[in-house]
C-alpha cells in the first residue's frame, strides 16, 4: 500500500481536496465519492478486474461501480445520447472510443496527466492507438496477442516435428503432418452472430507479413480499397491453408461449422486430431480442464513471410476513456496508468498488459511470461484491423466475407462486396 501511496497519494489527495470544495458541475457526484465504469468484461474476468481495483478503493475511499455487458457497442451510444454516460468506459475497440472523442464527448487524459508520465508507462505504438486529433484519450489496460500458433509439444516430439521459423517451414511442416497420416490445422470460424471473426484475424496477420505495416495502415483507413491486390494476396495465402482439404480438420465445411472455442480441443488427447491452431492468448480459457498449461501446450509466433517485414504481432486490447470530468474519474484513470492494477490481474492469470513497467515476474506461469515477452519484444505491432474499421465492414461484411470465401465464393467477388459496403 505504501507503494501505491507514493504513486498516487499527492495527485489523488489534490483531486479529492478539489472535490470537497467544488461548487460547480459534478459537485454532487464528487460528494458521493463514486466513479461509474461500463465495460465488456463479465463473470470470472470481472471478478479479477474488481480485485485489481481494491487497493484504489481502500486508499482513496472512492467506490468504483462497475457494470459489465456483452452488448457494450449497442448500450454505450444509447447511454451517451440519453445523457447517462458512465464516468469511464472500457472500450474493446479504439475506433469506437475515437468516434466519441472526435464528437467532443470525451475528456483527453492529457488534461490532467502529463505526456511524459504516459510515455514512461506505454510504448509509442499504444499511445498512438489512444490518440485522436493529437490528444491522448485512453489508458490501456488488458492486451491480447493474436499472432500465436498453439501446439502440443508431447505430440510434436512423438512425431519428430520441429517448430517452424519461416512461412515456408510452416507449410513444409503442414505437409509433413499430412504425410504422417494426420491433419495439420484445427480451424473454427463459428461464433454465433460474430461467425467469421477468427478468419479476419488470419487475413490481418498475413496482410502484415505480405504487404507490411504501412500498407496495412492504409488498408484499415480505406486509403486503399478493400479489393486491392495486396488484400487479395492475403486472402489467397489464407486460402492456401483453409481451402486445402487435407490441411484442416473437416475441410472447409469443418472450419465454418466448428465453434472457435471448440477448435483447439483437437490438439489434446492420446491421438490428436490436429497439431496446429492459430489463435489469441485468450483461447487457453477454452482448453479442456485437464490440460496442464506448463506441460501439455506451447506456443510460437506465426512466422514471417516477407523477410522485409520480420515477424509482426497482431494485437487487441481494452482501453479506458473518460466521459465525465470528475476528480474521482481522474483519480481512477491515474491509478489505471500505474503498474499496480496490471500486476494484480497478471498474478491472477489470464491477463497480459501493454504497460512497460509491469515485470515479467508478475505473470504466474511460463506460458504467460512467453506471451508477455512476445508483446514487449515485438518490433512491429498493429491492432486488430476489423476492430479499427467502420462497424458495417469490420464486424459486418469482413466477417461474413471470410465465411463466403471459405465456402467457395471467388475471392474477387468477396472483396468487391466488402468494398461496396464501406460507408461513404
DSSP string of 185-223, one letter each residue: B----B-GGGTTHHHHHHHHHHHHHHT-HHHHHHHHTTS
Per-residue pLDDT, 93: 85
82 in any annotated domain: yes
Same-domain status, 20 and 65 = yes
272 in any annotated domain: yes
Coil, helix or strand at residue 173: helix
Same-domain status, 233 and 273 = yes
382 in any annotated domain: no
Q: In whole angstroms, what separates CA 11 from the centre of its chain? A: 30
Residue 407: partners with Cβ closer than 8 Å, 6 or more residues away: 252, 256
What's the number of domains the chain is made of? Answer: 2
Q: CA-to-CA distance for 18 and 297, rounded, in angstroms?
A: 52
Q: Is 22 exposed, middle or buried (0-12, 13-18, 19+ CB in 10 A)?
A: middle
Same-domain status, 246 and 350 = no
383 in any annotated domain: no
Same-domain status, 87 and 39 = yes
pTM of the predicted model as reported, rounded to 2 decimal places: 0.88
Per-residue pLDDT, 7: 45
Same-domain status, 131 and 184 = no
Q: In the chain, what is the greatest distance between 2 CA atoms, to the nearest angstrom?
A: 76
Per-residue pLDDT, 22: 45
Same-domain status, 286 and 155 = yes
Per-residue pLDDT, 130: 95
CATH of the domain at 371: 3.40.190.10
Same-domain status, 177 and 210 = yes
Same-domain status, 371 and 250 = no
Per-residue pLDDT, 148: 98
Among 314, 316, 315, 319, which Cα is nearest to 101's? 319
235 in any annotated domain: yes
Same-domain status, 410 and 267 = yes
Q: CA-to-CA distance for 70 and 75, rounded, in angstroms?
A: 9
Same-domain status, 223 and 118 = no
Q: CA-to-CA distance for 37 and 72, rounded, in angstroms?
A: 12
Provide the grid cell at 50.
474488481
305 in any annotated domain: yes
Residue 176: partners with Cβ closer than 8 Å, 6 or more residues away: 161
109 in any annotated domain: yes
Sign of CA dihedral 42, 45, 51, 53: negative
Residue 173 dihedral angles phi and psi, to the nearest 5°: -60, -40
Per-residue pLDDT, 31: 45
What DSSP letter does each residue of 71-121 carry, written as one string?
A: -HHHHHHHHHHTT---SEEEES-HHHHHHHHHTT-SB-GGGTS-HHHHHHH
pLDDT tens-digit profile, the chain (424 residues): 444 443 444 455 444 444 444 444 443 444 479 999 999 999 999 999 999 999 999 999 999 999 999 889 889 999 999 999 999 999 998 888 999 999 999 999 999 999 999 999 999 999 999 999 999 999 999 999 999 999 999 999 999 999 999 999 999 999 999 999 999 999 999 999 899 999 999 999 999 999 999 999 999 999 999 999 999 999 999 999 999 999 999 999 999 999 999 999 999 988 899 999 999 999 998 999 999 998 999 999 999 999 999 999 999 999 999 999 999 999 999 999 999 999 999 999 889 999 999 999 999 999 999 999 999 999 899 999 999 998 899 989 999 999 999 999 999 999 999 999 999 8
384 in any annotated domain: no
Same-domain status, 329 and 416 = no
Same-domain status, 131 and 155 = no
**Which domain range does residue 330 map to?**
2-144+316-377
Amino acid at each position: 500500500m505504501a507503494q501505491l501511496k507514493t504513486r498516487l497519494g499527492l495527485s489523488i489527495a489534490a483531486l479529492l481536496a478539489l472535490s470537497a470544495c467544488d461548487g460547480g458541475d459534478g459537485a454532487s457526484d464528487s460528494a458521493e465519492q463514486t466513479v461509474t465504469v461500463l465495460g465488456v468484461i463479465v463473470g470470472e474476468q470481472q471478478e479479477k478486474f474488481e480485485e485489481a481495483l481494491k487497493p484504489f478503493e481502500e486508499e482513496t475511499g472512492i467506490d468504483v461501480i462497475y457494470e459489465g455487458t456483452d452488448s457494450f457497442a449497442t448500450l454505450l451510444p444509447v447511454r451517451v445520447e440519453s445523457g447517462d454516460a458512465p464516468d469511464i468506459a472500457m472500450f474493446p475497440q479504439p475506433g469506437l472510443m475515437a468516434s466519441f472523442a472526435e464528437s467532443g464527448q470525451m475528456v483527453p487524459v492529457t488534461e490532467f496527466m502529463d505526456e511524459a508520465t504516459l510515455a514512461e508507462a506505454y510504448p509509442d505504438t499504444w499511445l498512438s492507438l489512444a490518440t485522436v486529433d493529437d490528444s491522448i484519450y485512453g489508458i490501456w489496460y488488458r492486451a491480447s496477442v493474436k499472432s500465436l500458433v498453439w501446439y502440443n509439444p508431447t505430440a510434436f516430439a512423438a512425431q519428430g516435428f520441429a517448430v517452424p521459423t519461416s512461412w515456408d517451414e510452416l507449410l513444409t511442416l503442414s505437409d509433413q503432418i499430412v504425410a504422417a497420416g494426420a491433419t495439420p490445422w484445427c480451424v473454427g470460424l463459428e461464433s454465433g452472430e460474430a461467425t467469421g471473426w477468427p478468419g479476419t484475424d488470419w487475413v490481418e496477420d498475413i496482410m502484415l507479413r505480405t504487404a507490411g505495416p504501412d500498407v496495412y495502415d492504409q488498408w484499415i483507413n480505406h486509403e486503399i480499397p478493400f479489393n486491392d491486390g495486396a488484400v487479395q494476396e492475403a486472402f489467397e495465402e489464407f486460402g492456401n491453408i483453409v481451402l486445402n482439404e487435407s490441411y484442416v480438420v473437416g475441410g472447409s465445411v469443418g472450419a465454418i461449422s466448428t465453434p472457435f472455442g471448440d477448435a483447439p480441443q483437437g490438439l489434446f488427447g492420446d491421438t490428436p486430431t490436429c497439431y496446429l491452431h492459430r489463435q489469441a492468448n485468450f483461447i487457453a480459457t477454452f482448453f479442456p480442464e485437464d490440460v496442464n498449461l506448463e506441460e501439455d501446450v506451447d506456443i510460437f509466433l506465426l512466422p514471417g513471410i516477407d523477410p522485409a517485414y520480420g515477424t509482426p504481432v497482431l494485437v487487441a486490447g481494452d482501453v479506458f476513456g473518460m466521459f465525465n470530468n470528475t476528480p474521482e474519474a481522474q483519480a481512477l484513470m491515474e491509478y489505471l496508468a500505474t503498474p499496480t492494477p496490471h500486476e494484480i490481474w497478471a498474478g491472477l492469470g489470464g491477463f497480459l498488459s501493454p504497460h512497460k513497467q509491469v515485470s515479467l515476474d508478475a505473470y504466474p506461469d511460463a506460458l504467460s511470461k512467453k506471451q508477455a515477452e512476445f508483446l514487449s519484444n515485438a518490433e512491429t505491432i498493429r491492432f486488430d484491423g476489423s476492430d479499427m474499421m467502420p462497424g458495417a465492414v469490420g464486424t459486418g461484411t469482413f466477417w461474413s466475407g471470410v465465411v463466403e470465401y471459405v465456402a467457395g465464393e471467388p475471392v474477387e467477388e468477396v472483396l468487391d462486396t466488402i468494398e461496396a459496403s464501406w460507408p461513404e
